[in-house]
Amino acid sequence: MIQENIDITHRHTFGIATQARAWADYESVDELRQLIQEARTRGLEFMPIGEGSNLLFVKNYEGLLLHSEINSLNTITLSDNEVLVRAGSGWKWDDFVAYCVEKGWYGLENLSYIPGTVGASAVQNIGAYGTEVCDAIESVTVLDTDTLEEQILKGNECAYGYRTSRFKGVWRGKYIVTAVTFRLKHTPQYILDYGNLREIVGDTPTLQSVREAVIKIRRSKLPEPSELGSAGSFFVNPVIARKHYNKLLEQYPDMPCYEIDEQQVKVPAGWLIDHAQWKGKTEGGAMVYPKQCLVIVNTGNAKAGHVVQLANDIAFSVFEKYGIIIRPEVNYVY
């Protein structure tokens, strides 16, 4: 089952030349258990990987990458209005969204066309266009990597926040997600207030038309992973004190923000980077994507070092200009 010394350049969306000591696909929880046992026997570290859409391999990976191909699907209709859908972690995220839209299940359509897998969605708490996946997560089924027992964690145990969860914090390495259960609706509940989404969808939204509008916006702003390597947003949008924001507005009256609470606002890092003149700037093969400065792309021959250098330079200049610290959303793998 284990492939040794494998080229993973095209198994993560940055497309940066990288080797892994070992790689294994698994289709069941039992296979995953066997792989973890084997890694332990051989003294190999291991890490789950989906589509690798949020990873930057800083160097070759010396352990075993575990790639889920658990593509199960179970549904239970709870009422006229609600359905529980349990999807295996290996589903490609957007195939799963397309399936839900086709079935007439509301809740995930704003998250159309996000790269990655169902398993990773629950770790990362993916979000876009006014929706976060945690809003629809009922529970997450995981394998405990110590006991090798499966466990079901309720969505509200996972401490979901903006692009974060316990899986990225205290549970890092403890669990591998094997399936995610979503609570979806049969009746329309559209969320169209983000940016120009409502305008693009028009007056008579349908599940399909919302999905198509989201895909259209994403395609116009974000690089196609099949054409240009990247890991989507490179930074998370920083949350800053409202006082600090009000002060910055005196100098930058056009600076947008998302409301958080009375004390804090979230500022789009893409705007900060753009207005610090980084659009299209390069470092070796890495470039700030001109249509969305939040994204760093691989123009073809980028090395991880180029991306790290560019990201560091950007963060430094954003701090110097606005006094705001921006942090990577992308996970660096050493």
Is there binding between residue 274 and ligand EPU (CB under 6 A)? Answer: yes
Token pair for 325:
């610290």
Stretch that binds ligand EPU, among 35-43, 76-84, 177-185, 289-297 (CB under 6 A): 289-297
Token pair for 68:
């889920």
Pairwise CA distance, residues 171 & 194, whole Å: 32
- Cα–Cα separations (whole angstroms), residue 263 to 28, 247, 255, 269, 321: 47, 14, 17, 19, 22
> Within 61-120, which residues bind ligand EPU (CB under 6 A)?
none
In this complex, which beta carbon is closest to ligand EPU, that of residue 152 or of residue 325?
325
Alpha helix segments (H runs only) across 110-184: 118-124
Query: Is residue 329 annotated as a catalytic residue, yes or no?
Result: yes
* Count of other CB atoms within 10 angstroms of residue 287: 24
Is there binding between residue 268 and ligand EPU (CB under 6 A)? Answer: yes
Residues paired with residue 288 on neighbouring β-strands, in sequence order = 296
> Within 189-218, which residues bind ligand EPU (CB under 6 A)?
194-195
User: Considering the complex, what minimum distance in angstroms separates the CB of residue 156 from ligand EPU?
Assistant: 22
- Reduced to 3 states (helix: H, G, I; strand: E, B; else coil), residue 220 is helix
User: Considering the complex, what minimum distance in angstroms separates the CB of residue 274 from ligand EPU?
Assistant: 4
- The vertex-54 CA angle with 48 and 56, nearest 5°, equals 90
- Cα–Cα separations (whole angstroms), residue 256 to 37, 81, 271, 274: 50, 37, 8, 12
Is there binding between residue 232 and ligand EPU (CB under 6 A)? Answer: yes
Is there binding between residue 270 and ligand EPU (CB under 6 A)? Answer: yes
Window 315-334: contact mask with ligand EPU (x via CB under 6 A): --------------x-----
User: Considering the complex, what minimum distance in angstroms separates the CB of residue 325 from ligand EPU?
Assistant: 15
Over its C-alpha atoms, the chain yields an Rg (Å, rounded) of 20
Contact 282, 313 (CB under 8 A): no
Contact 55, 117 (CB under 8 A): no
Q: Kindly give the interhelix angle for 207-221 and 93-103, rounded to the nearest 10 degrees.
A: 150
Is there binding between residue 271 and ligand EPU (CB under 6 A)? Answer: yes
| DSSP secondary structure letters along 273-302 | HHTTT-TT-EETTEEE-TT-TTEEEE-SS-
User: Which of 85, 233, 286, 302 is the binder for ligand EPU (CB under 6 A)?
Assistant: 233
Q: Which residue is catalytic, options 218, 230, 233, 283?
A: 233
Residue number with the shortest CB distance to ligand EPU?
A: 232
Tell me the backbone φ, ψ of residue 167, rounded to 5 degrees: -65, -25
Stretch that binds ligand EPU, among 7-15, 17-25, 81-89, 268-276 (CB under 6 A): 268-276
Is there binding between residue 276 and ligand EPU (CB under 6 A)? Answer: no
Is there binding between residue 239 and ligand EPU (CB under 6 A)? Answer: no
User: Which of 49, 143, 222, 307 is the binder for ligand EPU (CB under 6 A)?
Assistant: 222
Q: Which residue is catalytic, options 163, 183, 198, 242?
A: 163
Q: Which residue is catalytic, options 51, 138, 283, 329?
A: 329
Query: Is residue 233 annotated as a catalytic residue, yes or no?
Result: yes
Stretch that binds ligand EPU, among 22-30, 56-64, 71-79, 290-298 (CB under 6 A): 290-298
Positions in the binding site for ligand EPU (CB under 6 A)? 128-129, 194-195, 221-222, 232-233, 236-237, 256, 268, 270-271, 274, 292-294, 329
- Could you give the residue numbers annotated as active site? 163, 233, 329
